[in-house]
Amino acid sequence: MSETKNTPFLEVKDLRVEYFTKEQVVHAVNGVSFTLEKGTTLGLVGETGAGKTSICKSILRILPDVGARIPSGEIRLEGQDLLKISEKEMRAVRGQKIAMIFQDPMTALNPVQRVGDQIAEVVSLHMKGTKEDFKKRAEEMLEMVNIPKQRYVEYPHQFSGGMKQRVVIAIALACNPELLLADEPTTALDVTIQAQVLKLIGELRDRLGTSMILVTHDMGIVATYCDTVAVTYAGSIVEYGTKEQIFDHPTHPYTIGLFGAIPNMNVDEEWLHAIEGLPPDPSHLPTGCAFHPRCPYATEDCAKEGFVKPVTTPDGHTCVCCHIDEVLKGEK
Ligand code: SF4
């Protein structure tokens, strides 16, 4: 399908992802839909196991060949459904149109290959040129992520964690992808390095005009880097809107719980607030609203199949909850 003026840059529709063994099926992503406009950043927010990484891997089509499947859904990049194209066509999309920064730079790099060669290799797969051109591009990318090009010849073990993640960023951006999937890019780094790496990703995104999906559980990161926000819970998006809508008027009880868990530095409290209970087992999801076992507003209706549907909140964003009037009154 060709792109029209109204075609979103990226459109994910009713995406489902399952992991399966002989004994059980894990429902990792359960009917997720969202759009991303060109040059903007969407924050995918939620606890570990909410399906955020599976969504990104589906977009890049790098789910494991064995034990994973996408039973339904569409992933349209500029109108083209990535789930329908051949593996050969998809190889051209990876790296050149879509690239991903993984959580852990320690495992994302090849320990026995020089860092510069790892960048040059990606460039050689997607761009035309000579060995010298690829090397030159790799050196440029190293400098772009603030690593002197003289370190091209070094190996990952000679780099600190933050520098390794900068190399991973250089690899991801080496072919000027239009869409960057950043999957908790600072989780494995120590706190002092996290801010530097995020700042670098933000600066490069702005300079190169890259669209981005930023996976995080940190609302502070969302506030700084995202335009729109999708709050995920148990493989579904439970609240979706612009950053302002979600931050100014959080409406889903889970989102309210996430904001409530942020420590207030101006208040001297003995205990941090947490959302009661644990996320559900994705191989045995609760019926109806998957949040109902933990929700202070839950009623019997919340556990009924098909009862809980997306509604539009007073400020125009989407919330999947059947009791938003009560939630907005804040009666619990
Ligand atoms: Fe809570 Fe019910 Fe709303 Fe789910 S639908 S978030 S259980 S009030």
pLDDT at 228: 97
How many A from CA of 27 to the centre of ligand 1? Answer: 20
Cβ–ligand 1 distance for 322 under 6 Å, the answer yes
pLDDT at 103: 81
Confidence band of 165 (pLDDT split at 50, 70, 90): confident
- Look at 25-39, 50-64, 272-286 and tell me which has the smallest mean pLDDT: 272-286
pLDDT at 5: 62
* Averaged pLDDT for residues 197-206: 84
pLDDT of 1 above 60: no
Cβ–ligand 1 distance for 298 under 6 Å, the answer yes
Q: What is the pTM of this model?
A: 0.89
| Residue ranges per structural domain of the chain | 251-265+272-329
pLDDT of 26 above 90: yes
Query: Could you read off the pLDDT of 63-94 as tens digits, one per residue?
Result: 998 899 999 999 999 999 999 999 999 998 98
Q: Give 220-267 as a DSSP string.
A: HHHHHH-SEEEEEETTEEEEEEEHHHHHHS--SHHHHHHHHTS--TTS
How many A from CA of 261 to the centre of ligand 1? Answer: 18
Confidence band of 174 (pLDDT split at 50, 70, 90): confident
Characterize 182-211 residue by residue with b for buried, 16 or more Cβ atoms within 10 angstroms of its Cβ, and e for exposed.
bbbbbebbeeebbeebbebbbebbeeeebb
Cβ–ligand 1 distance for 291 under 6 Å, the answer yes
Confidence band of 204 (pLDDT split at 50, 70, 90): confident
Whole-angstrom distance, CA of residue 313 vs CA of residue 73: 26
pLDDT at 188: 67
pLDDT of 3 above 60: no
How many A from CA of 83 to the centre of ligand 1? Answer: 32
Query: Could you read off the pLDDT of 223-258 as tens digits, one per residue?
Result: 999 999 999 999 999 999 999 999 999 999 999 999
How many A from CA of 260 to the centre of ligand 1? Answer: 17
pLDDT of 51 above 80: yes
Closest ligand 1 atom to 253 CA: 6
3-class secondary-structure state, position 214: strand
| Cα angle 177, 181, 184; round to 5 | 145
Quick check: 17 and 63 in contact, CB under 8 A? yes
Mutate to test the pocket of ligand 1, among 237, 320, 321, 325 (most ligand atoms within 8 A of CB): 321
Closest ligand 1 atom to 296 CA: 1
> Which residue, chain included where needed, has tokens 């509604």?
311
Q: What is the share, in percent, of the chain residues with pLDDT greater than 70?
A: 98
Whole-angstrom distance, CA of residue 142 vs CA of residue 197: 14
The sign one gets for the Cα dihedral 142, 147, 148, 151 is: negative
pLDDT at 187: 75
Confidence band of 4 (pLDDT split at 50, 70, 90): low
Closest ligand 1 atom to 308 CA: 5
Residue 101 CB burial class (10 angstroms; 0-12, 13-18, ≥19): buried
How many A from CA of 67 to the centre of ligand 1? Answer: 32
C-alpha gyration radius of the chain: 21
pLDDT at 252: 96
Cβ–ligand 1 distance for 308 under 6 Å, the answer yes
